């Protein structure tokens, strides 16, 4: 059981539940948590494409402490008006997992098939 009570300040069972974890599909590093899912522009999930024409289904999270932002911030082709993006990689294996969006607040758009949401029985 991973105990994250020290970082959350909480002590209830849900604060330490492993079933909340969302992992890197490639290396199983803990990236984020189900309780950190958020909506942006009315939805948690968005289907988007980049200037190279690559389509992504991304999911929005308010925190993703298992990821690391890399490179500079850019506003080019941003999917979220008012936010600049940086590439976000797995802190464990370096895989590109999505983007860190920086604007009036910070959030993460993570590529669904690059995550293990732990939904399989």
- CB nearer to ligand JO2: pick between 1 and 54: 54
CB closer to ligand JO2, 10 vs 75: 75
CB of 103 vs ligand JO2, minimal distance in Å? 11
Q: What is the 3-state secondary structure (H, E, C) of the chain?
A: CCCCHHHHCCCCHHHHCHHHEEEECCCCCEEEEHHHECCECCECEEEEECCCCCEEEEEEECCCCCEEEEEEEECCCCCCCCCEEEEEEECCCCCEEEEEEECCCEEEEEEHHHEECCCCC
Q: How far is the CB of 21 from ligand JO2 (least distance, A)?
A: 25
User: Closest distance between ligand JO2 and the C-beta of residue 63, in Å?
Assistant: 18
Tell me the closest approach of the beta carbon of residue 88 to ligand JO2, in angstroms: 9
Joined tokens for residue 115:
């995550």
Site for ligand JO2 in 67-106 (CB under 6 A): 76-79, 85, 87, 99
Cβ closest to ligand JO2, residue 65 vs residue 103: 103
Q: Characterize the bridge pairing of strands 106-111 and 115-116.
A: unpaired
Stretch 23-52 residues interacting with ligand JO2 (CB under 6 A): 50-51
Q: Which residues bind ligand JO2 (CB under 6 A)?
A: 50-51, 76-79, 85, 87, 99
């Amino acid at each position: 059981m991973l105990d994250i009570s020290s970082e959350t300040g909480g002590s209830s069972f849900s604060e330490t539940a492993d079933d909340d974890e969302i992992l890197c599909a490639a290396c199983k590093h803990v990236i984020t948590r189900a309780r950190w899912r958020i909506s942006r522009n009315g939805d948690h999930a968005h289907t988007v494409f980049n200037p190279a024409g690559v389509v992504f289904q991304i999911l929005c999270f308010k925190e993703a402490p298992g990821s690391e932002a890399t490179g500079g911030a850019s506003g080019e082709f941003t999917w979220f008006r008012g936010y600049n993006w940086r590439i976000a990689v797995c802190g464990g294996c370096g895989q590109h997992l999505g983007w860190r969006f920086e604007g009036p607040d910070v959030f993460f758009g993570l590529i669904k098939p690059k995550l293990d949401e732990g939904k399989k029985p």
